[in-house]
Structure formats: C-alpha cells, structure tokens
Structure 1
C-alpha cells in the first residue's frame, strides 16, 4: 500500500524561496507514483536528496517525512531500511544519530520478515554510533518499547538488539533488559520464542557471568525444553546458544545443567532437533573440550549415526572426519576403530543413498588419523565396498577422496586392478557428463600416485578417449590433462604415447575434434620443449591452417599466439610467420582479426 501526505502536483521552483522545498516535494511526487520501480529509484536517491537538503533539514524534514508518511510496497521499504543504516553522516554524525531511530523502529514493526530483519540490521549498525548518554536516553527505551509491543513483529525484532546495547547500558537498564529478554523467552507466540532462542547465544556472550549463571541459564533450559504447541522449531534453535553457554561455563559448577540441556537436544524426540544437533556436533564437541568424557561424547555422536531418520544419519556422516579429528590424540585411533567404525560400516550400505554419498566424501579423511596399517586393516574394506556401490555419486566421492591416501601403498596392485580401475572406467562412461568431468579432473592426481607403466597400460587409453567426448567441457578438461601428463612423464613419453593421438585428431572428419586437436597442441606446447614443438606440433598447425572450416582456421591463429612463445626465433620467422601472414589475408574477418592479433603479440 502506498500513502503519503497529500500535496498538490509540484512544479520546479520559480524563485529562491521555493528552492528549499523542492527536494522533499519531488520525493513526495515520486513516491505517489503508481510505478513501483519509480518509487524504488526515488528511495535509492535518498542520500542524494539528504545531501541537497543539508544535515539540519534532513533531520527536521526528511527523517520526519520518512517516519510519518511512508507506507509502501515491501521491496521499497526494504531498500529504505537498508539506506537508513548508512545515514549517520547525513544527519550530522553520531551526535544526532538517534533521530534515525523513529523510522527504523516503524520498519521493525512491519509484517514482512525481510523488511524487519533489514531494519534490525541497520539499528545494530548505528547502535555503536550512539554515545553512552544517547544510548541510555534513546536506543535502550526503543528496545524496551519493541519488546513490550502488542504485535509479535516488534517483539521478534527486539530480540536482535539486546546484545548490541547491553554492554554499554547502566546497571538499572541492564536489569530492565534482562527482565525484558526473559519475558520474550516465555512469550506466548512461538515466533517470538524462536527469535529469542536464536539470539540467546549472542546475548550470553555480553552478559555478566554471574547473571549468565543465575538468569540466562534458566532461560536457556526453558527454551531447550520448549514443548508449547509442539514447537520443535524453538528447541532446534536452542542448539547453537547451548554451545555458546557451555563454552563460557567450562569451569563452573553450572556446566552440569547446561550439559544436560544440550544432551537432551541431541537426543530430542524431534528428528529436526536431532538434525540440528548433528549439524553442530563438532562445535558441541569443541565447546565441551575435556569437560566431557570421551566415551560419552562418542556415544552421543554414534547414536546420531544410527538415527532412525535418514536425514540425521546423512548430516552426521558428513561430520565424521571433523568429529574424529577432535578426539583426544592419545587414544584417538583406538576410539575410532573400536567405537566409531563399527557404526560407520553399516552406513556404507545404507538404504538411503544420500547417507552413502555423504559418507563416501569423508570416510577416507580418517586415513591420516589412523595411519597406513590401520587404514589397510579397517578403512580399506569400507572403501572397496563403496567403490562397488550401484550409486555413481558414491563411487565418484570415494575416488575423489583418494588424495588423502597414497593409493599405490595402501591399495594393493590386485585391488587397484580388480576394484578401482573398473569403477573409474564405469564412471568415465557415466551418462551424466558432470560425473565424467569429475573423473577427468581427478586423473592427474591419480597419475601422480601411480607409476608410469601402470598408468600407461590401464588409464592412458581412457584419457585419450575423453578428447572425443561429445561434451565440450570434457574435451577441454582432457586437453589440460595432456599438459600435466607431459610434465610428469616427460617429452619423450609424450611424443610416443600422446602426440600420435593428437595427429589423428587433426585428420578427423569432425571439425570439433580438429578443434580439440588445436587445444591439445596449445596445452602440450608449454610442456615438451622447443625442439619437440618444432618437430611435432608445428606441422599439425601448418596442416590445419588451410582447413576449410573458418572456426578451425581462427583457432589456429589463437593457438599460434601461445605456441609462438615456445619456439626459437628461427622457427618463429621461418615457420610461424608465413602461416600468420596467410591467415591475415583470409576472406573470413574473424580469421584475419585473430591472425593480426597473433602477429602483433609475437611481433612477426
């Protein structure tokens, strides 16, 4: 809804006496327009209008106007709420920043959540601009008004402001703020309790420790056990503040109460609360530190891994590596082998494929924690089982995590041949091109870990096949592999095993494959040395420079820009220059342009 103070249609000022009124008048007219985009543009110009008015008139007229008369579309109000957060210098600096509170307080009452949230963000932004006296006189009373508002919208907004005001409040006002926050934690409206729960952790970090133990801890216990109207959404938002409170109370007797409340959340009857606990399990582990028995925290975690809900097992599986890394070093290996892996093994064949996909992405991360022998004895069976899984994403995640171990050492030659290679070949031919691309991109890492002979016999043919894949991204990635293989195995190996395939591509009937040949030439020219470039790659370029497809010819010119940097001066003059001169006279404009660019770059 749009409503502004009624005013006649404004005309440009006729004299100096009217000039001072003009910016506000124009703004009013634009905000009355039915076009939302025009009103948005007008609101976005507020800072310009404020500069034109000057700080005094901005405070007295513009801010008052925005406080009293703006009722608009949510998207307009959202922009307004954001703009006001940057208005401190436009109203005269910190001394007058409190004049921004009325319009922002109004916006913090708006029904639309995103507008309220943006208003709260702006209020938090200007809170530290207030002097101590202004904070006590203006900002804190505003928080208390919002917290006591009739509508839940104002009370939810208030929850986000306590932490920024409390540290600088006087003792009497601190008491009022704590009492107001306690009231919000017990509000009849679930939305308000949710807001209070989400901000409780932030508030706990600024409140005095004595009051944290005597007052805030009870608020946390109330929220963590909230069961009014079956509002599990309140309890799930209590997990994060529980972590903050436990971190603060590590050395206090009151830790037992916070620990019990947090433990109840991990074992909550609602799967959504358990899901949130599983998502935060590593932070919970860090918060407790050595104040919780290892067996106890491991039991809490493994119960999440065994949860009846697949979503909980999924997110708990994702935390496997982080949780295990946080275990005490002195007995970590034994705890993982004896207590965690027996629970993890069934997940490798879980009925929920998302659980298996998540587990496959992290399980090999345990290898550095266990060491080579224990990895072979305990992780390898899980690894090999998942390598044979029917779900492509599971096999892909396992193969993608091989960088965490020395493949040739941990996985024997037989297993490499019987399990790993079939899985790689299967994924390399997967119908989903993104799966194939992931395998292509992983291949250089695998080449790093395998000896030359084994790679040559088992995987080289696969790499060459990707050069003719029907998806461009695969072909492009395959050309990058050639460069890395040439660097690893040397120019002679490349000449013998890779260049012949590139030559075949240059003669292929499909012009897209001839283009791939050029991309391969460009990549290889950086890795095989000047003599090999001259001997093996320049003839390919010369042949394709007369291709009947213009796209191939202008890619010859583009390739020569790179190849020309990797040959000696004599070859540049005798072999490259004539080709570029001929291409620069081509009938196709694109071919001419790229050839001229190459000549200019190579100075030939």
Structure 2
C-alpha cells in the first residue's frame, strides 16, 4: 500500500482475505481497521472502489467485525465519485442479505437512515438503493423506512429524486400492498409528471416490477392513466423507454387492458417521429403478440405498419420479420 503505482495498491486490497486470515480478531478490530479508515480518507478513487468491492464479499464480512465494516462502507457510500458510492451501496445490499433480523434493525437500518439524512447529496443518493433490502427485515421500523424513502423521492434536489425514482418499483415490491396503494402509487403518479425528463423515464422502468406486483384491476385503477400519458410524452426518450418495456407492461396489465387501452399507444409508437422509438416498438412486437388479440393485430397494427414499411430502417424490417415468423 506504500507503493506509488495505483495498480499495486489495488492488487494489495484484493488480497484482503489473505491478510485477514493471518491476523487475530483484536488485530483486525484495532490496527487493520484504523489503517483502512486512514486509507479511505486519503486514497484515490481506484483504491476506494477496490475496498468497497472487497467489503461486500461474504467471506470478508464473516471474518470482520460487522459494525466496523459497515462504518467503512458508510463512508464510501458518501463519496463524491459515483462509481465508488455505487459499489459501496451494492456491497451494503449484499451484506444486508447476510445479516440476521436483529442486526439489521440494530445496525443496518440506523446506517440507512443516517445516510438518508446526510447534509450532502451523495449519501442520500446511496441510501435510496438500500431501503428495499432493509425493509425485508425491518420489523417495527417499516413505517419509519417508508416515510424516509418517500421523503427522498419528494426532494427538491433532482439527483436525489432521480435516485429514488429509479428504486421506486423495487421498493414497492417489498412493501405491503395496502401501503403501496395508499402511499407509493400517489407518489408514482406525481413523479410520472415530474418536470425532469429523466425522472419520468425512470418511472416507466420502475412501473415494470410494480405492475407485475399489483393485480390487473389494481393496475387499471392506479397506474394505467399515468402510463397512457407517458405514451404521449413530449420527450422521445420517455416514449422509447415505454416502447422497450411494452411487452412486460402488457403482460402485467393483461389482454383486456392491452386490447382496450395500450394497443392504441403501441400503434402510435410504430408511427413515431423518432426512428429509435419505432425500432423499439417493432422489437417488442414479437414478445407481446400472444397478449394482443388477432382482431387488434389486423385492425390496428398491420394498417399502421404497411404504409411505412418501404421507407423503414433495416432494424425495423428485421424486427417485423422476426415478429411475423
């Protein structure tokens, strides 16, 4: 670790298990973690990423004091560098799965709430990805976690709101359905109209697991309206995301809702002004033909496709050929 070359330092970090095996418990708790914390405060991003990666491994976790390891990852999750904090958050998620319910409630959840209340945005961004894992073992802390997650999703800071939006669907699948309908879906509908294009896009991606978790009737009442609005979004990347995920959404909503409502939006995608949206729609077609009735295929889709086939892109023609084979 005293070498000048970064790659030698990174290689040394990746030999962490060998070092741990040669030390006593007291040496790990004392000198080793004191040294690790010193490194975290002074080293370059490549070394910090390596530490975040190693500390998420099961064998490393089992050989260390859990509280000290989590404290080090908490520091890394608050880093300015995106790749470091994302890896730290991923390692924290991996560790949470291995922890028992009591330790999650006593150690992990306070860490999540502390990150979520950070003065500087990186900690709050990292916290957004930790709520779903913590919630599974939260016990009496569930309401507190839901409240804090919703607070992050409502933040004025766009980057935090984006982080919350990206994890909204995942979090919803871990929450009791009553709370999803009463608390999370109103937030989803609000974010689906956000002024930030990226947030509206992320809402479509989050809707996929959420729609699969809800019943078809619950989707029709709570999410269909926002989805149809997204199909007419002024930003083509939002429409592109919808087109890419159309098959999964159609399957979650079911044949009746797809035939009655979604097929019109899909037909519009086939005639979209952006070539990428059209190509994504035709690529989704082969995945969702079994969900669409033959009447809608002949009455809506084929009439939309035929006039544009001659001037269509090679990707569009290839996608159509695959769908019809």
TM-score per shorter chain, which class?
over 0.9
One of 61, 64, 81 as aligned partner of 1:112: 81
State the TM-score, normalized to the length of structure 1.
0.51
Residue 344 (1) aligns with residue 305 (2) = yes
The yes-or-no answer on 1:54 pairing with 2:54 is: no
Residue aligning to 1:148: 117
2: distance between equivalents of 1:169 and 1:142? 13
For 1:538-557, what aligned pairs fall within 5 Å after superposition?
none
Preserved contact between residue 170 and residue 210 of structure 2 (Cα < 8 Å): no
Match status 1:83 vs 2:54 = yes
Residue of structure 2 in register with 1:177 after alignment:
145
Residue 196 of structure 1 corresponds to 164
Question: Considering only CA atoms, is the larger Rg found in Structure 1 or Structure 2?
Answer: 1
C-alpha distance in structure 2 between counterparts of 1:365 and 1:45, whole Å: 49
Question: Does the aligned pair in 1 maintain the 2:76–2:85 contact within 8 Å?
Answer: yes
The Cα offsets for residues 109-160 of structure 1, whole Å up to 9 and x where unpaired, read as 1111111111111111110222222111110000001111111111110011
| Deviation readout 1:148-173 (Å, 9 max, x if unpaired) | 111111111001100101021122x1
Q: How many residue pairs align between the two structures?
A: 322
Distance 1:104 1:366, change over 3 A: closer
Of residues 256, 273, 276 in structure 1, which corresponds to 2:238? Answer: 273
Cα distance, 1:307 vs structure 2: 1.2
| Structure 2: gaps spanning 5 or more residues | none
1:122 and 2:83 aligned: no
Is the Cα–Cα contact under 8 Å of residues 232 and 273 in structure 1 kept in the other structure?
Answer: yes
1:72 matched residue in structure 2: 43
The Cα offsets for residues 8-63 of structure 1, whole Å up to 9 and x where unpaired, read as xxxxxxxxxxxxxxxxxxxxxx24x3321222222122221111113332133322
Secondary structure, in 3 states, of the residue corresponding to 1:308? coil
Q: Counterpart in 2 of 1:216? A: 184
Q: What is the match of residue 530 of structure 1? A: none
Measured in 2, the distance between the counterparts of 1:258 and 1:296 equals 12
Runs of 4+ in 1 over 3 A off after TM superposition: 251-255
Structural RMSD (CA): 1.8
Is 1:67–1:102's contact at 8 Å kept on the other side of the alignment?
A: no
Residues 436-447 of structure 1 correspond to what in structure 2 (within 5 A)?
none
Q: Which moved more, 1:182-191 or 1:248-257?
A: 248-257
Question: Any conservation in 2 of the 1:246–1:259 contact (CA below 8 Å)?
Answer: no
Q: Retained in 1: the 8 A contact 2:165–2:191?
A: yes
Name which structure has the greater RCO, CA cutoff 8 Å, separation 6+. Answer: 2
Gap change, CA 1:293 and 1:133, over 3 Å in 2: closer
Preserved CA contact (<8 Å) 1:116 1:157? yes
3-state DSSP class of the match of 1:53?
A: coil
In structure 1, C-alpha distance between the alignment counterparts of 2:234 and 2:26, rounded to whole Å: 58
Q: How does 1:455-466 map to 2 (within 5 A)?
A: none
- Structure 1 gaps, min length 5: 1-29, 368-403, 405-604
Q: CA deviation at 1:65?
A: 2.5
More off after superposition, 212-221 vs 283-292: 283-292
